[in-house]
Structure 1
Amino acid sequence: MRQIFLDTETTGLNPETGDRIVEIGCIEMVSRRLTGRHLHLYLNPERPGSEEATRIHGLTDAFLADKPKFREVAAEFIEFVRGAELIIHNAAFDVGFLNAELRRVQQPRVAELAGGILDTLVMAREQYPGKANSLDALCRRLEVDNTNRTFHGALLDAGLLAEVYIRMTRGQNALVIDADDGQDEGSSDDADLHIDLSAFSVAVLRASEQEIAAHAGVLADLDKASGGKTVWRTISA
């Protein structure tokens, strides 16, 4: 299964009022293994960015002035994401901006290009109800190192999201990047993990008389509190 971790940075909060994308970051994973392939684009939004947005991502109008416009890289973006499941944190935000950009160049919406869209914010709210579930909060909770996140960056955030997703869905401590390690894909080192336990003796610790008496006292108190309806008395009867 091919999946793409995707994030964007924008000039503001609302594509319907003219805000545009200034950065796209995509990282590819196939069969739960990072392939090393990624797409990273800075874009000229053809409009000034808001001060608040610039404080968040650090991408100034001067820096973006000579970058390509979305229409110039649309084909590259579409080819990279086509058919893949897109994994996005707060997907409605990024997808809304991407749809607006695609509409301007008369291309299909994200949902028609991708093989599916998975929102990790929805996942996190289900998994950690009542808790903060921003990307930074998930990094802290799942012990993902985000100390380099001085500014929000699309490629950086896509990478953090990849590790957060892996830990949320499987609990592994690190991502695996495809490499030729000399093993067939179906091979396993499980045989090395089998241990003969017959050589070990297991110590059996028996309760002392004092411990047995204390345990009986606890059971008696519980029985008294339940009005003689404790399960063990029912079973004994």
Structure 2
Amino acid sequence: MRNLLALNWKMNKTPSEARSWAAELAERFEEGDAELAVMAPAVTISTLAANLPAGVGLGAQDVSAHDSGAYTGEVSAGMLADLGVGYVVVGHSERRDYHGETDAVVAAKAKQAQANGIVPIVCVGEKLDVREKGEHVAYTLAQLAGSLAGVGADVVVAYEPVWAIGTGKTATADDAEELAAAIRGALEQQYGKRAAEIRVLYGGSVKPDNIASICVKPNVNGALVGGASLKVADVLGMNDALKNA
């Protein structure tokens, strides 16, 4: 299965900065074994659509749970699809924490994405206190079940231990594999044979020097990358690391 590098810019880069980033990537990028896709702020999506090099996908960081209507400030899946978006992140821990998104809301957003031909990247993962209690597997699988309720198999799952996001702390490759394997088992129960086609990503302080050791694990199929996605040099470093893994 081909690895996916989902590059989550979060609330970074203006449209002009995005254009410069895409131009630099286009000069230096050589398509490798991994698929690259940029999860961009909504205001930069059109710019990236016109400037990303061939072979690099376009993604969004959020989507409305509604198809249209009086929802000021929200962006629908149909709008994103019209811009050429192929992926959208739903259920990121920052959305869950800062905006109170429940598993049911995440599932509704994922279904909206799928209804418009966009693959949702559904995020799950535990906070530090849950891991310290040894409840990280049960917690994450319960979150996954709620977030995938009624959602089709055309999905990507990203396991992000919340304590490792933007902290410089990284789960070990074995930690990532433990949860990825558990997630894979849950996907098999829900989707049967189709679960073998679903990519499970790891996210949380992923960098060029650790990505290969994580993605070499049998149930990890790429990474959801935050800070290291902002510099083209780091993106190329991760791409090269996976070529040589």
TM-score (normalizing by structure 1): 0.28
Q: Which has the larger radius of gyration?
A: 1
